[in-house]
Amino acid sequence: MTMTAKTPTGGASATAAKGMGPLSRRSIIGYGAGDAANNLAFTTATMFLLLYYTDVAGISAAAAGTLLLVVRIFDAFSDVLAGRFVDKTYHKKLGKFRPFIMFGSIPLLLLSVAAFSIPQIGQSGMLLWAYVSYALLGLAYSFVNIPYGSLAGAMTQHAGERAKLASARTIGAVAVGSFLGIFIAPLMKDGAKLQPLFTTMTLIFAVIGTALYMFTVFSTKERVVREVSKVSMRQSFSTLKGNKPLLLLCISSFLFLTGQLAVGTVQIYYFRDVLHSLELYAVMSIVNIFLTFGLAALLPRLVGVFGKKNIYLAAGVLMGLGGLIVFLAPANTVWLAFTGVLVTQMGTLLVSMLVWALEADTVEYGEWKTGVRTEGITYALFSFTRKTGQAVGGALAAFALAWGGYTAGAGQQSAHALLGIRAGAGLLPMVFAILAILVMVIYPLTDARHKEIVHEISLRRAVRISEARNAADGSPADGGTAGGNAAETAEN
């Protein structure tokens, strides 16, 4: 293996200890700020873009569904491209990931403005603008989000600290989502002049998002040692080969995100047109804040007691149960429907917190198999499957509206249209949660096994450093036996 950088004095044990030590509160908050910035673009699009296309731009639900499917699949492939750029890039001062966040944030946020500012240039021209602006937004998001997500694995290798980072990013995301639900969603009334609202909102978000991204850049730091700073394409893809935990996590996340994006896309229609209680969207967002902070505070302790995998499975059960309640609850039993929404939300929150820590664990699994850390391509493949799930989920939600015969601007939707909305808000998340659970049952990388793998990686690194020093001194290597045992253990 070619070394591209010297290991600091003190050896692998000191560096490994640094990567395992506790993170500062500032770095944890700074990391969470990055996902708040991400979601000023991402959650805004998830919650409102379909509504914007149908009710403001006048694009049909079927055409909008096709657009979401096509562009989000393109977006998924752009993740792989971004992952390769990240793996082969390294900056001496800022490291591997933060330069992308620093220089990609402003284009990303300005493209969010463009996506919600479609000019009146005829149906064909407006549809073309929608395709191009959303595709560019997705591409820019990939080149910021892939390095952002990969950064967590480079900040620490400790399961509890990774749980804190996962909780922090979820808090950041939910804070934005709750703000949108409390203050913006109630304004989405039939017949309202929404174009000025969307333009003003996204411009303000561009300013706030830039400040949040810069806080992330200057408050976080890569602490986990890497022996290869610029990874070749062959090395990138060799780490993916045989990474069974990553494969299973990707499949389960694809299924889970399909259900989550379906409900996230169509939920505002459910409150407005099925329950006739749009104000409950704001109430849900307020409750969501308390749920998020409560679960985030408990998550590191829950992970220590039950393990990430078991909590993930329980969260999937909650999402499926909530979806069933939402689908079956009578429209005049608002309290029951609202309960189903909250149960679904609790499940999605738990999975959203855990999944980033699980993905970071698979990076060490790949390093254990090959000797090379490739956070970029690993996160890119994971994000690829998640983006594909988002594409399918968002499209299925739009197609459910089209199947039901949803009519934009109608004061009262038909019974069949209401059934289509119910299916998107309840049936789809229930079915895909069950499928995601079935895949995750056979996920092999428990927290105990991950701890063993990190220890074995440290042993190998210590042996290589000892051998390199002995070779430089011209003396016989004294760590060969330990190195052979570590490697043999790893292979077995």
3-state per-residue secondary structure call for 434-469: HHHHHHHCCCCCCHHHHHHHHHHHHHHHHHHHHHHH
| pLDDT for res 1 | 33
Confidence check: pLDDT of 154 > 50: yes
Per residue in 340-376, pLDDT (tens digit) is 999 999 999 899 888 878 988 888 888 888 777 777 7
| pLDDT for res 422 | 92
CATH of domain 26-445: 1.20.1250.20
Domain with CATH 1.20.1250.20 in the chain: 26-445
Amino acid at 89: T
244 burial level (CB within 10 Å; 0-12, 13-18, 19+): middle
Contact (Cβ atoms closer than 8 angstroms) between residue 67 and residue 57: no
Between 319 and 369, the higher pLDDT residue: 319
pLDDT band (50, 70, 90) for residue 14: very low
Confidence check: pLDDT of 7 > 70: no
Per residue in 93-105, pLDDT (tens digit) is 788 899 999 999 9
| pLDDT for res 198 | 93
As a whole number of angstroms, the distance between CA 483 and CA 489 comes to 10
As a whole number of angstroms, the distance between CA 288 and CA 282 comes to 10
Q: Which of 174-178, 185-189, 472-476 has the lowest mean pLDDT?
A: 472-476
pLDDT band (50, 70, 90) for residue 434: very high
Between 423 and 385, the higher pLDDT residue: 423
C-alpha to C-alpha distances, 235 to 96, 210, 225, 429, nearest whole angstrom: 16, 34, 17, 37
289 burial level (CB within 10 Å; 0-12, 13-18, 19+): middle
Confidence check: pLDDT of 284 > 80: yes
As a whole number of angstroms, the distance between CA 42 and CA 47 comes to 9
Confidence check: pLDDT of 203 > 50: yes
| pLDDT for res 319 | 95
Percent of the chain having pLDDT more than 90? Answer: 36
Contact (Cβ atoms closer than 8 angstroms) between residue 252 and residue 28: no
Across the range 192-215, mean pLDDT stands at 92
pLDDT band (50, 70, 90) for residue 192: low
Per residue in 80-137, pLDDT (tens digit) is 888 888 877 877 778 889 999 999 999 999 999 999 999 989 889 999 999 999 999 9
pLDDT band (50, 70, 90) for residue 20: low
| pLDDT for res 238 | 66
pLDDT band (50, 70, 90) for residue 227: low
Percent of the chain having pLDDT more than 70? Answer: 88
Contact (Cβ atoms closer than 8 angstroms) between residue 303 and residue 353: no
Confidence check: pLDDT of 15 > 50: no
pLDDT band (50, 70, 90) for residue 387: confident
Between 15 and 373, the higher pLDDT residue: 373
Confidence check: pLDDT of 322 > 80: yes
Average pLDDT, the chain: 84
Contact (Cβ atoms closer than 8 angstroms) between residue 323 and residue 263: yes
Cβ neighbours, 10 Å, residue 467: 16
Per residue in 52-66, pLDDT (tens digit) is 998 899 898 889 888
